[in-house]
């Protein structure tokens, strides 16, 4: 566990009216922090404090650190809306007890909600940023070369087959297996370029960046606003087709797929079971809708509820619900053990919670999916891409491999366009 000593600090939020400039163009090339959807959200830069933690109770210890820091902070915030005032960005390890989770307090936060824009500054050292023109996202990064990650596709399919055998033997009901791919460009990878391209291609997703992990996730793990809590659960995926008739058939196939509905229900039930003890009410639709994105479709369920008095804060709630069956499996313990045994790679912060939290306890955390981890290799020209899929009893290894390829295409297209 690491964290700087907490000292009294002043944080000031200043309303900027209804400015509509692109938030992502304000970011620096290094240390970019972002959580943006459809032009609104938060971006940050500079760093006045950080907290890194691993081991049992990681998120609870992060919550304690943030509470102590907020208690020692003088906040001037005439807006008082979610995301104004003191803000913390976080990126949590998929397995918080084993991996490193990172929380960063930026020196500057630029926010927008319901058309209202504001800037929040912390401390006295406010780094200047040269605006990154949106058209610069169209610049070429040259030739890309790809390499297998920890497992080649044939070996990975073998691991999927092993998971299906374990499910058939009754060891568990579902497990999510992921794979990684390595990419190298001719020129350094500028995170702003990738973020702008992802936001343009997936405006309904949450475009995020924390500690070199950046992407566009369609899945909202938890949002807390006052006593309201909500989540968007995704599980069950079908590819898209450029042929209209074939694309319609693929969508209809997903909507009617017993296999995908069963996989989806595991994810919804695991989230609801973890949240329900802390809620006075929780609305869980009986059937999912179909969420259509440019590269894939997902079965989607929006869960909403109200927290009971005395319910824990957002970070503690994340600890209670993560990992859901959407990114881990069910039963949770058996699925995590199988992932550790056969997946063959360290997920690090892939598929872990990523998002922000303010001093009031409001915040949003999605799951770090459709993402790239900038590794710093080759002078900043290398990255690690991830994709995973849910394995159930009738999963076909080759079909699951194709699903990972469809999901990888989201970041690959942003790199290549």
Catalytic residues: 174, 219
Helix (H, G, I), strand (E, B) or coil at 80: coil
Look up residue 381 and give its two tokens. Answer: 């020209």
Distance CA 104, CA 91 (A): 9
Q: What is the DSSP string of 41-58?
A: EEEEES-SEEEEE-STTH
Sign of CA dihedral 172, 272, 203, 133: negative
CB atoms within 10 A of CB 246: 12
**Please, are residues 59 and 143 in contact by the beta-carbon 8 Å criterion?**
no
3-state secondary structure 269-333: HHHHHHHHHHEEEEECCCCCEEEECCCEEEEEEEEEEEECCCCCCHHHHHHHHCCCCCCCEECHH
Sign of CA dihedral 84, 88, 93, 95: negative
Distance CA 109, CA 122 (A): 9
Look up residue 36 and give its two tokens. Answer: 């943006």
**Please, are residues 46 and 112 in contact by the beta-carbon 8 Å criterion?**
no
Distance CA 163, CA 322 (A): 21
Distance CA 220, CA 353 (A): 9
**Please, are residues 106 and 209 in contact by the beta-carbon 8 Å criterion?**
no
The H or E element that residue 168 is part of is helix 153-168
Distance CA 323, CA 221 (A): 10
Q: What's the Cα-to-Cα distance from 111 to each of 48, 64, 126, rounded to whole Å?
A: 18, 25, 16
Which residue, among 341, 56, 82, 27, has the nearest Cα to 207 in the 3D structure?
27
Indicate the DSSP class of residue 99: S
């Amino acid at each position: 566990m690491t964290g700087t000593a907490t000292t009294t600090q002043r944080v000031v939020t200043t309303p900027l009216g209804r400015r509509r400039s692109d938030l992502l163009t304000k970011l620096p090339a290094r240390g970019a922090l972002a959580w943006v959807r459809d032009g609104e959200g938060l971006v940050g830069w500079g760093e006045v404090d950080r907290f890194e933690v691993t081991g049992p109770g990681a998120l609870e210890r992060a919550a304690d650190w943030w509470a102590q820091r907020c208690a020692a902070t003088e906040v001037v915030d005439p807006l008082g809306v979610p995301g104004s005032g003191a803000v913390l960005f976080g990126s949590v390890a998929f397995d918080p007890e084993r991996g490193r989770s990172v929380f960063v307090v930026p020196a500057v936060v630029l926010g927008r909600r319901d058309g209202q824009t504001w800037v929040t500054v912390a401390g006295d050292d406010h780094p200047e940023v040269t605006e990154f023109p949106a058209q610069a996202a169209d610049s070429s990064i040259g030739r890309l070369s790809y390499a297998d990650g920890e497992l080649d596709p044939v070996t990975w399919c073998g691991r999927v087959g092993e998971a299906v055998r374990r499910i058939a033997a009754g060891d568990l009901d579902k497990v999510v297996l992921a794979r990684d791919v390595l990419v190298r460009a001719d020129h350094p990878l500028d995170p702003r370029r990738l973020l702008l391209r992802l936001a343009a291609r997936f405006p309904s997703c949450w475009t995020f960046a924390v500690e070199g992990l950046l992407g566009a996730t369609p899945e909202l793990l938890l949002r807390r606003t006052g006593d309201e809590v909500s989540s968007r659960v995704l599980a069950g995926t079908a590819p898209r087709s450029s042929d209209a008739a074939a694309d319609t058939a693929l969508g209809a196939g997903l909507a009617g797929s017993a296999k995908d509905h069963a996989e989806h229900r595991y994810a919804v039930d695991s989230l609801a079971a973890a949240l329900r003890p802390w809620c006075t009410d929780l609305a869980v639709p009986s059937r999912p809708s179909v969420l259509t994105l440019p590269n894939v479709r997902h079965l989607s369920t929006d869960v909403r509820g109200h927290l009971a008095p005395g319910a824990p804060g957002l970070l503690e709630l994340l600890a209670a619900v993560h990992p859901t069956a959407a990114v881990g499996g069910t039963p949770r313990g058996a699925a995590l053990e199988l992932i550790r045994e056969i997946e063959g790679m360290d997920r690090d912060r892939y598929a872990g919670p990523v998002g922000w939290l303010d001093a009031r306890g409001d915040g949003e955390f999605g799951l770090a999916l459709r993402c790239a981890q900038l590794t710093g290799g080759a002078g900043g020209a290398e990255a690690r891409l991830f994709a995973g899929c849910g394995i159930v009893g009738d999963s076909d290894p080759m079909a699951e491999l194709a699903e990972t390829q469809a999901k990888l295409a989201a970041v690959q297209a942003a790199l290549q366009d």
